[in-house]
Amino acid sequence: MDIALPAIAVLALVAAAALLVALRRARAGADEARAAIARSAAAAAAAERRRAETLADLPFAALRLDRDARLIEANRLGMERFPFLAPRMGILEAFSEHELAGRVQESLDALAPARFEVRLFAEGRRTYRVAVQPYEVGGTREALVFLTDASEAADYQELRSQFVANVSHELRTPITGLRGLLEALGDPAMDAPTRADFLARASHETERLEALITDILFLSELEATHGEPATSRSDLAAAAADTAEELAAVAAEQRVTVVLDAAGPAWTPLTDRMARTVVRNLVENAIKYAGPGATATAAVRREGATVVLRVSDDGAGIPERHLPHVFERFYRADPSRSKRMGGTGLGLSIVKHIAERFGGTAEASSQEGFGTTVTVSIPAADAPAGP
Ligand code: ADP
């Protein structure tokens, strides 16, 4: 017994020590497991933060939708563009656009990406390029919808096709006229005065065609060189003086007096051809439309950092309803007069195009029966360095 007791005590001690070690190990294991859980939770949180930040900073509107195309979240640009979006809102309810809603749902159902364009009326009337990317995580299906504003490209495309349609129409009219006249001229029985009249009309149609083609080519040249830095210098006052002289005979024919009002040079970043075109289009308009007995004044002034060309007449004027449109391509307030006078309908749009290209403006004011003033303002340029 005496021997056995210490042995039992030793055994108990060893067992207690072993238990203690096991306990410590178990505790360390649990700590490690807890630390591992904490580490992976932190990693998951970091990954989620990265995902949210990536989505937020995308340079287009991005929406995350659930299986039923309801909004889970939208990125920063998405909320800016479509401030009416709210969580759980259905895509049809949000945009009232059946094509968009239908195609997103189809894409979610088939788990197949889709790309298309839609016009959304939600925020102005804009065209969006849409990319739908459905995916599944942990048995849950969702989709990302990316919306890129493509309005400018779409508007430009529309403008181009409209322009081509207008040009074709404008070209067809004189060509049809010419064909009719040439067919009639083929008649040997035609008397001399009629022949002379028909020939004069054919020649007029040819001039119209030529003017039209010159204007169209000039416009396309302006567009082709758009954005190129201005390296030219032209004196608008000198261009006005030259133009007034060149148009003196036509003005006299139409019984319109052209007055030049320019004091000293007015340097602009225009090319000489642009400067002449701007002045010529405006003075020619005054001659064509003001009517006999009218006076047209071309005034060129340097006003601060701007060169201002003001061509005014005291003639027929432009009816108020036409005034907002006269700078549009092919717009004519008085189509028959314009065509009779050899107008192309492009003169004022070319003037505006040139002015705006250099950060300037072109505006018209008019009162029917009292006259018209067209004002072109262009940032002034330094005089070219002397020889
Ligand atoms: P167009 O080649 O027909 O002259 P523009 O673009 O130069 O084309 O001018 C557009 C229209 O504006 C003209 O058709 C004309 O009806 C009107 N208009 C322009 N200038 C005048 C003016 N000084 N007086 C009256 N009408 C004008």
Taking Cα atoms as reference points, which of 226, 219, 221, 239 lies closest to residue 350? 219
Q: Given ligand 1 and candidates 209, 309, 330, 348, which is best to mutate, with the most ligand atoms within 8 Å of its CB? A: 348
Mean pLDDT of 331-338: 91
Q: How far apart are CA 206 and CA 214, in angstroms?
A: 12
Asked if residue 4 has pLDDT above 70, the reply is no
Q: Nearest residue CA, atom 12 of ligand 1?
A: 326
Mean pLDDT of 293-309: 97
* Ligand 1 contact, 313 CB (< 6 A): yes
Atom of ligand 1 nearest to the CA of 338: 3
Which DSSP letter does residue 59 get? Answer: S
Q: Which atom of ligand 1 is nearest to the CA of 343?
A: 2
Distances (CA, A) of 151 to 78, 158, 220, 338, 375: 16, 10, 22, 34, 31
User: Bridge partners of 139?
Assistant: none
- Bridge partners (DSSP) of residue 148 are 129
Q: What percent of the chain has pLDDT over 70?
A: 98
How remote is the CA of residue 311 from the centroid of ligand 1, in Å?
Answer: 13
- The answer to whether the CB of 286 falls within 8 A of the CB of 372 is yes
Q: Write the burial class of residue 88 (CB in 10 Å: 0-12 exposed, 13-18 middle, 19+ buried).
A: exposed
Q: 326 in ligand 1 pocket by Cβ < 6 Å?
A: yes
DSSP for 95-145? H--HHHHHHHHHHHHHT--EEEEEEE-TTSSEEEEEEEEEEEETTEEEEEE
pLDDT band, very low/low/confident/very high, at 50 (cuts 50, 70, 90): confident
- Cα(153) to ligand 1 centroid in Å equals 30
**For residues 236 and 78, what is the distance between their CA atoms, to the nearest angstrom?**
48
Q: What pLDDT is stored for residue 47 in this prediction? A: 85
Instruction: Pick from 281, 326, 344, 352 the residue to mutate for probing ligand 1's pocket: most ligand atoms within 8 Å of its CB.
Output: 326
Identify the band that residue 286 occupies on the pLDDT scale cut at 50, 70 and 90.
very high
DSSP state of 229: P
285 CB within 6 A, ligand 1: yes
Q: Which of 112-121, 131-140, 162-171, 254-263 has the lowest mean pLDDT?
A: 162-171
Return the ligand 1 atom nearest residue 349 CA. Answer: 6
Q: Provide the pLDDT for residue 1.
A: 47
Please work out whether the CB of residue 371 comes within 6 Å of at least one atom of ligand 1.
Answer: no
Amino acid at 211: A
Contact 37, 58 (CB under 8 A): no
Report the candidate in 229, 285, 278 with the shortest Cα–Cα distance to residue 376.
278
pLDDT of residue 272: 95
Contact 308, 380 (CB under 8 A): no
As a whole number, the mean pLDDT across the chain is 91
8 A C-beta contact, residue 150 and residue 130 = no
Identify which has the larger pLDDT, 314 or 225.
314
Centroid of ligand 1 to alpha carbon of 337 (angstroms):
9
Its pTM stands at: 0.69
The span from the CA of 202 to the CA of 196, in Å, is 10
Ligand 1 close to Cβ of residue 350 (< 6 A): no
Instruction: State if residue 286 touches ligand 1 by the CB under 6 angstroms criterion.
Output: yes
Q: pLDDT tens digits for 145-187?
A: 999 999 888 888 888 888 888 889 889 988 999 999 999 999 9
